[in-house]
Amino acid sequence: MASLGRHIIVEYYNCSPELLNDVVHIEKSMENAAEEAGATIINSTFHHFSPYGVSGVVVIQESHLAIHTWPEYGYASVDLFTCGDTVNPWVSYQMLKEAFEADHGSAVELSRGEMALLKRKNFNVKSMRDEKSSEDGSPIRTRDVWFTERDDKIALSLKHDGKLYDVQSDFQKVAVYKTQAYGNMLTLDGMVMTTEVDEYVYHEMITHVPLLTHPNPKRVLIIGGGDGGTAREVLKHEGLEEVVMVEIDDKVIEASKIHLPSISQSLDHPKLNLIVDDGIRYVNDAADNSFDLVIVDSTDPVGPAEGLFSVDFYKEVYRILTDDGIMITQSESPRFNSKVFKEIYQTYRGIFGQDQVHCYLAYIPTYPTGMWSFSYSSKGAAHPMRQKPKEELDAFVKSAKLKYYNAEMHQASFALPTFVREMIG
């Protein structure tokens, strides 16, 4: 052995962009490549970055295999570092080239730790042993795979055990991950939409705040909301006469019905008129004064939801509201999406009037920064702080088995931190 280790620096060009953005495929391929080369895996950690890119490392008893991918260029850079004579890193090189469907690969091999330049030192080996070994003495193997949603300065990561659903629909990439802390999680184009564990915060707050302040709600329109959580909560109000939901993407409905049953449970409710179509078109075609409440349960303002954040759309929503009507929208995170957040409130106030638009907050751990906002815009006299009588609210909270919303939370959610107040004036 002329050196301690072999380090192969690898470039793969013209790979499949889809494969280079698939954290589960990359993790499996790297682990197979390590094992086939004769290595013993100790640990692996992989992150997917939103919207694209994967980084990861497989730590092997004989050193490590590392990768970073740029799906947008079909390019992956890989380091294969092995020590000793038992592992052949070139086996990994070839396997990964095939796994990523690379047109072309190049590699440079370096010798690391030239024996001729090294001098052995004496030290007490026993005291340096890793105590965390399994009973037979071999290292314990662990695994870390992460989903990450980020912008250029902030990231939110959730550890998961793989993807349960992964479909490119006509509108967006629809995926469901099995997260370790938050149950199954729906993402659209790499952005977290909802998780089984904390979804109730969002869905209770987007629905019960308006439904328990409107004097007599009868007709409700939900735009978006394909996972079904908003519809589930709306339908808990038995006095409603009509609930229409317009979701543009049937794949969101499909993914939710299969993998998020506790959220999507009411999508087949007899009172729900579920329409798969463009919400903007539906609103444009709807009659004047036809809904008491319009809830815009949109994704973030990129991709198919972009039009749901436009002045023209909100003017149309205003038109189709009854005289006492309320519009509720999710209005992003004041911290993470500051620019959009400010614009949203300016736009609504231009349409509904300066004093007719209110902001309220809820704490949703799986949305970036955890602080999430909703807007309450009232066409007439309905006011968010004028709730139904307390006894009525308490009884509803109990019978509907709510976990976040209650009479006090309702009031408290409109108390804004000073920096948020200042943002929206």
DSSP 68-100: EEEGGGTEEEEEEEEESSS--HHHHHHHHHHHT
Q: Taking Cα atoms as reference points, which of 353, 344, 346 lies closest to residue 379?
A: 353
91 Cβ neighbours under 8 A, 6+ residues apart: 33, 36, 37, 38
Beta strands 142-150 and 41-49: pairing type?
Answer: parallel
First to last CA, the chain: 71
When the beta carbons of 330 and 356 are compared against ligand SPD, the nearer one is 330
Using the rule CB under 6 A, give the single segment among 34-42, 137-145, 158-166, 185-193 that binds ligand SPD. 185-193
Site for ligand SPD contains 373 (CB under 6 A)? no
Asked if 227 touches ligand SPD (CB under 6 A), the answer is yes
Q: What is the DSSP string of 279-305?
A: HHHHHHHSPTT-EEEEEEE---SSGGG
Find tokens 């007439």 and name the residue.
Answer: 380
Residue 274 makes contact with ligand SPD by CB under 6 A: no
Q: Residue 61 or 338: which CB sits closer to ligand SPD?
A: 338
Judged by DSSP in three states, 175 sits in strand
Of 83-91, 136-144, 212-220, 226-234: span binding ligand SPD (CB under 6 A): 226-234
Tell me which residue has tokens 């980084």: 55
* C-beta of 17 vs 368, nearer to ligand SPD: 368
Candidates 300, 308, 331, 357; binder of ligand SPD (CB under 6 A) is 300
Q: C-beta of 385: minimal distance to ligand SPD in Å?
A: 25
Q: Which of 367, 376, 404, 405 binds ligand SPD (CB under 6 A)?
A: 367
Q: Which range touches ligand SPD (CB under 6 A), out of 47-55, 186-194, 311-319, 351-359?
A: 186-194
By CB under 6 A, the count of residues binding ligand SPD is 14
Is the distance from CB of 66 to CB of 57 less than 8 angstroms? Answer: yes
Host H or E run for residue 318? helix 311-320
Please pick, from the candidates 21, 63, 179, 230, the single residue that binds ligand SPD as defined by CB under 6 A: 230
Q: Binding ligand SPD by CB under 6 A: which of 62, 233, 297, 316?
A: 297
Query: Partners of 359 in the beta sheet?
Result: 375
* Cβ atoms within 10 Å of 125's Cβ, excluding its own: 7
From 136, 297, 323, 324, the catalytic residue:
297
Q: At 378, which helix (H) or strand (E)? A: strand 371-378
User: Does residue 266 interact with ligand SPD by CB under 6 A?
Assistant: no
Q: Is 22 a catalytic site residue?
A: no
Cα Dmax for the chain: 87
CB of residue 191 to ligand SPD, shortest distance in Å: 5
Collapsing DSSP to helix, strand or coil, 12 comes out as: strand
Residue 110 in tokens: 């370096």
The backbone region for 266, taken as left when phi is positive above 0, alpha when psi lies in -120 to 50, beta otherwise, is alpha
Return the residue of 12, 147, 171, 202 that touches ligand SPD, per CB under 6 A: 202
Least Å distance between CB 228 and ligand SPD? 8
Q: Does 191 bind ligand SPD (CB under 6 A)?
A: yes
Name which of 322 and 337 has its Cβ closer to ligand SPD.
Answer: 337
Which residues ranging from 320 to 359 are in contact with ligand SPD (CB under 6 A)?
330
* Residue 203 CB, nearest approach to ligand SPD (Å): 6
| DSSP structure string for 100-165 | TT-SEEEEEEEEEEEGGG-------TGGGS-S-B-TTSSBPPEEEEEEEEE-SS-EEEEEEEEEEE
Q: 5: closest CA among 111, 107, 147, 87? A: 111
Out of 17, 89, 229, 279, the residue judged to bind ligand SPD by CB under 6 A? 229
| Closer by beta carbon to ligand SPD, 29 or else 299 | 299
- 20/193 with CB nearer ligand SPD: 193
Contact range with ligand SPD by CB under 6 A, out of 109-117, 140-148, 296-304, 378-386: 296-304
Nearest Cα neighbor of 69 from 52, 92, 91, 57 is 52
Q: Using CB under 6 A, which of the segments 1-9, 33-41, 294-302, 388-396 binds ligand SPD?
A: 294-302
Using CB under 6 A, which of the segments 39-47, 173-181, 223-231, 385-393 binds ligand SPD? 223-231
Which is nearer to ligand SPD, 295 or 423 (by Cβ)?
295
193 binds ligand SPD (CB under 6 A): yes
Looking at the Cβ atoms of 194 and 213, the one nearer to ligand SPD is 194
Residues forming the active site: 297
- Give contact residues for ligand SPD (rule: CB under 6 A): 191-194, 202, 225, 227, 229-230, 297, 299-300, 330, 367
